[in-house]
Amino acid sequence: MNASLFSRLLGSMRANTLLLFLLGMVLLAAALVGGVFSLLSWEPAERGPAAQVALALDPLVQEAQLDRLYLEVRQWQEVTSLRLALEAQDLGLPASVALPPNAPAILLNLGSDANSQQVMDRAQMLGGVQQAVPLAVVEDPAAQQQVQVIKPLLLSAFVVLTLASFIALHGGVRRLLRQWKGELELLRLSGVSPRDVASSFAAVALLFSAVGAAVAAAGIYLGLPWAQGVEGLQPYLPDSFEPQRLLGLALGTLIAGLLVGVLASAWGTRAQGRS
């Protein structure tokens, strides 16, 4: 790749060409994030019914102790997510669950393989916890059917968005080549090899695809732990993520995005590289 030519290509890019590259970058990032969700959405189908445990706290618990209690429980392996409310009624628990209404409470969502009795025994040993109540999570057949319908839609969206990003990046390369049509012959006469010219144009598409892939990878690594606490996304995600797996998903996302960029740029410059 000719570094000087690469920088000149970036500086001379017209607005419509830049928009194509930016569109490809955004579509690629969306495709990669959607692809990871599509991949992960098939795993929760194998898990059994989950469970919840509600913890009633001492009404006189101090704020510092409440923070320590929340942070400690959040680290338990059996807990996939939790909600803290300063008043138990704000958790929206069933009327049959008798907790002091004006006292703080924590709702724990447990993994499918967690033993709720062990979690309750462990919680009651903590200072500030007055009561632990198990709550069975009843699977909603309509919600499960909806999940089964959305899964193939997620996969279809991944395929369509990936193809669209490929077309946009490829189109950006071809448009940039047409923009430089008059200068290409001068570059050849000045001694720049066709392969160097092609690789410089390809590097532009690869740059935008790398940015899109990096954004998607960062979003996957930082966003999946947050997404586990979003009620609407929980049916599409596994119970928990190991740090190594999060890193693996992020790296896989980055590699997949770079691969799309390489293919789009190679396809866009194939004729130029043979000249």
- Tell me, what's the pLDDT at 13? 81
pLDDT at 146 > cutoff 50 = yes
Q: Which tops the pLDDT comparison, 93 or 263? A: 263
How far is 137 from 50, CA to CA, in rounded Å? 6
Average pLDDT over residues 202-207: 90
**What are the backbone angles phi and psi of residue 241, rounded to the nearest 5°?**
-130, 130
Percent residues over pLDDT 70 in the chain: 83
**What pLDDT, on the 0 to 100 scale, is given for residue 48?**
46
With contact defined as beta carbons under 8 Å apart, do 228 and 237 qualify? yes
Instruction: Quickly list H helices, the chain.
Output: 3-11, 15-40, 63-74, 116-124, 141-179, 181-189, 194-227, 243-268, 270-274
On the 0-12 / 13-18 / 19+ scale of CB atoms within 10 A, 3 is exposed
pLDDT of the residue at 193: 67
**Does position 252 have pLDDT exceeding 50, yes or no?**
yes
pLDDT, position 144: 60
Per-residue pLDDT band for 132 (boundaries 50, 70, 90) equals confident
Q: Which stretch of 9-18, 26-35, 166-175, 217-226 has the lowest confidence by average pLDDT?
A: 9-18
Least-confidence region, from 42-56, 170-184, 226-240: 42-56
Three-state DSSP class for residue 78: coil
Protein fold of 50-138: Alpha-Beta Plaits (3.30.70)
Where helices occur in 180-193 by DSSP H, the ranges are: 181-189
Which are the contacts of 183, defined by CB distance < 8 A and separation ≥ 6?
A: none
Task: Please provide the average confidence, as pLDDT, over all residues in the chain.
Answer: 81
Q: Please compute the mean of the pLDDT values over residues 223-233 and round it to a whole number.
A: 77
- In 3D, which of 253, 248, 227, 247 has the Cα closest to residue 238? 227
* The pair of three-digit structure tokens given for residue 167, joined into one six-digit string: 């077309």
Which DSSP string do the residues of 243-258 spell out, in sequence order?
A: HHHHHHHHHHHHHHHH
Which of 71-85, 177-191, 209-223, 234-248 has the highest mean predicted lDDT (pLDDT)?
209-223
Residue 83 has φ and ψ, to the nearest 5°, of: -130, 135
Domain boundaries, the chain: 3-43+142-274, 50-138
Greatest mean pLDDT range, 124-133, 228-237, 257-266: 257-266
Q: Which residue has the higher pLDDT, 43 or 211?
A: 211
Residue 42 DSSP code = T
Burial 152-188 (b: 16+ CB within 10 A, else e): eebbebbeebbebbbebbbbbbbbbbeebeeebeebe
